[in-house]
Chain A
Amino acid sequence: MTDSDVAVVGFAQAPNVRATSGTTNGVEMLVPVFEELLSGTGMRTEDVGFWCSGSSDYLAGRAFSFIAAIDAIGAFPPINESHVEMDAAWALYEAWVKIRTGEVDTALVYGFGKSSAGELRRVLAMQLDPYFAAPLWPDSVGVAGLQARLGLESGAFAEQDMAEVAARSRADAEQNPHAQLSGRVLVAELLARPYLADPLRAHDCAPITDGASAVLLASAGRARELRDRPAWITGVEHRIESAELGGRDLTASPSTADAGRAAGAEGVELAELHAPFTHQELLLRDALGLDGSVRINPSGGALCGNPMFAAGLTRIGEAARRVWSGEAGKVLAHATSGPALQQNLVCVMEG
């Protein structure tokens, strides 16, 4: 490893739950997450070189909501800190750049969201084109349904394939103590259930989830002090597609394909994909060229717990854990943001 290499060396998350009684600034969720993350690596808060977070004011229902969350860090005297109004996987990208510049040698990245505070399907309309889409209040499930039907009717996949994604995810989530949903379900039973928003059934959609997660990054010089087998980031890239929903090819995910190519996705053994809808996992697998030999979402994925603005970062932490444990040598983590997979980030890590 060269001096400018960066590794994921720590990960912790709050339980993924339907609702918490805490505040939308996330402090109650974050304090124990930071404690777990730092005690696991032997670091103290004052040792962290850079802090970067992902969260959303629309989710919290108030302006500059991320400011209050900084109390959980112990932000006085002033710290080196930044924020993105996106999933915290993009905050991790910023932190990765910060370490690459040589300005800091460790960074703590966190994301949090209390999705239960508002009406999530309406809140997410705020991320659409504000001129001619958002004024109609298209809800997130309805927009995902448009994408699912395009895939179904083009023959790219069937409802059976979507249900199989849900069943596999919930079975895998039985091994994940943080998951919101888990258990054995039969595909035939899922397909017998009514539509939530035809062509999507409830099992096709991620549950509304409150949660938070945090990841610790370190430079080559520090990583081995903090973790025996660091997960070295060998590629991290993100791409965006047009905000013109009806002008995109929704049956593919070209931004994921581009990001995957640029990040060096080829040859991964395991992938954590941020797919809040079953059909989106199918599109992502196709875009990344992941065949049947690649283990997908051993954590259960976002379909079993989707804390907004943290779920993408959680994928990076979950994938990194498989490198630390030696379970996998080369892994991929993916995060998405925006409607119908508009923005996608791919992070490839190796042991």
Chain B
Amino acid sequence: MTEIAEPLSAPLEVGFDYTRSPGPVLGRFAAGLRQRRITGVRGSDGRVHVPAVEHDPVTAAPLDEFVEVGDTGTVRSWSWIPEPLEGQPLPHGFAWALVRLDGADTALLHAVDAGSADRMRTGMRVRARWAAERVGGIRDIACFDPVPDGPDSPGDADSPDDAGAPGDTTSAAPRDDSGLEPVQLLTTPIHLHYRHSASPEESRYLRGLAEGRLLGQRCPACRKVYIPPRGACPTDGVPTEQEVELPDTGIVTTFCIVNVPFLGQRITPPYVAAYVLLDGADIAFLHLVLGCAAEEVRMGMRVRAEWKPRAEWDTTLRNIDHFRPSGEPDAPYESYAHHL
């Protein structure tokens, strides 16, 4: 029977760069930022959207009339973040704010560096602080700063005080559109942190590996032996529970010869990745077959585990460095046909 023990867990780091093709509208907005210019887009109802949107949120019509707006604006709402999280724009307490830039009708989400919540208020005036290095993306605006002694705007979208703001000056001097070739690629690094937990069944198996044992479990309903054991048998939906210790010998059920080099590869190609069905198990797992020429590996070949030196063991299947041919006669096809 399985004894009660806390399941194994370990940190899991997930990190990658999302790269996106923003297209001509969003790409143009991003290009403007690189030049310290904020370029919105006019909607079907005449409202100016900042950030730019590709399609009108109401009519879904494609939008392409660009309107340059100011880099100062009015805070429409805010929330205070006393302890910023990783990746956020400022390392000290700041406010998230919806900022309606002068000339825009929608609000941009960004950070305001006000020092304390006491200095934040709806209607306050703020100005973009531009990043020293700009690449064409929203983080070209480092954050917004309160405008010292700036008069509060009435903060009302319908206010006549907003008339004549930069966005409405379409009849003013011709815009200089040079340098506004749309950005082709936006890159967003994503890094997330998790605590990954193994199931109680997997934890038994992983702890067994640290002792050089291969522990499977039997499904109480269909009697199949799984290694690694499972939280639930895929046929019966019930946890596997009866422990079964398996030998480190088995057969190759199927395999492939890896000829392609890739990043992080630890063995020089060609080499064999194979499904190994341990004697007494009802499911095969993936491992390496070394110790013979790749072209000699075949379905039904008998193999034996080649363990690493005991001092190197931990709670992973890496304790088995690879499987190698045992020299025994091949298993007949019928003996593993239903495990393919």
Residues of A within 8 A of B (CB): 21-25, 27-28, 31, 34, 45, 58, 61-62, 70-77, 116-119, 121-123, 125-126, 129-139, 141-150, 153, 195, 197-200, 242, 244-247, 250
Contacts and interface: CB of A to CB of B under 8 A. Distances in A.
Given A76-B235, A138-B109, 9 more contacts: A25-B231, A71-B231, A74-B234, A123-B192, A132-B51, A144-B79, A242-B53, A245-B109, A246-B50
B196 A117 contact: yes
A31 B237 contact: yes
Given A134-B188, A137-B86, A138-B96, A61 B108 contact: no
A146 B97 CA distance: 7
Interface of B: 6-7, 9, 12, 14, 18, 20, 22, 26, 29-30, 49-51, 53, 57, 76-82, 85-89, 96-98, 100, 106-111, 117, 122, 137-139, 186, 188, 190, 192-200, 202, 230-239
Nearest to B12: A61
A146 B111 CA distance: 12
Contacts of A122: 85-87, 192
Contacts of B231: 23, 25, 27-28, 31, 71-72
Contact of B139 (A25, A119, A136): A136
A154 to B, nearest CB: 10
Contacts, number: 189
Given A149-B122, A195-B80, A22 B137 contact: no
Given A131-B22, A133-B109, A75 B234 contact: yes
A132 B98 contact: no
13 contacts: A74-B237, A131-B22, A136-B109, A139-B88, A143-B109, A146-B77, A147-B77, A148-B79, A244-B49, A244-B51, A244-B106, A245-B109, A246-B100
A108 to B, nearest CB: 11
B20 A247 contact: no
Nearest to B189: A135
Given A31-B239, A137-B86, A246 B98 contact: yes
Contacts of B7: 21-22
Nearest to B99: A246
Nearest to B49: A247
Nearest to A59: B194
Nearest to A34: B237
A242 B57 contact: yes
B80 A145 contact: yes
A23 B232 contact: no
A244 B188 contact: no
A10 to B, nearest CB: 16
A230 to B, nearest CB: 25
A132 B137 CA distance: 7
Contacts of B100: 246
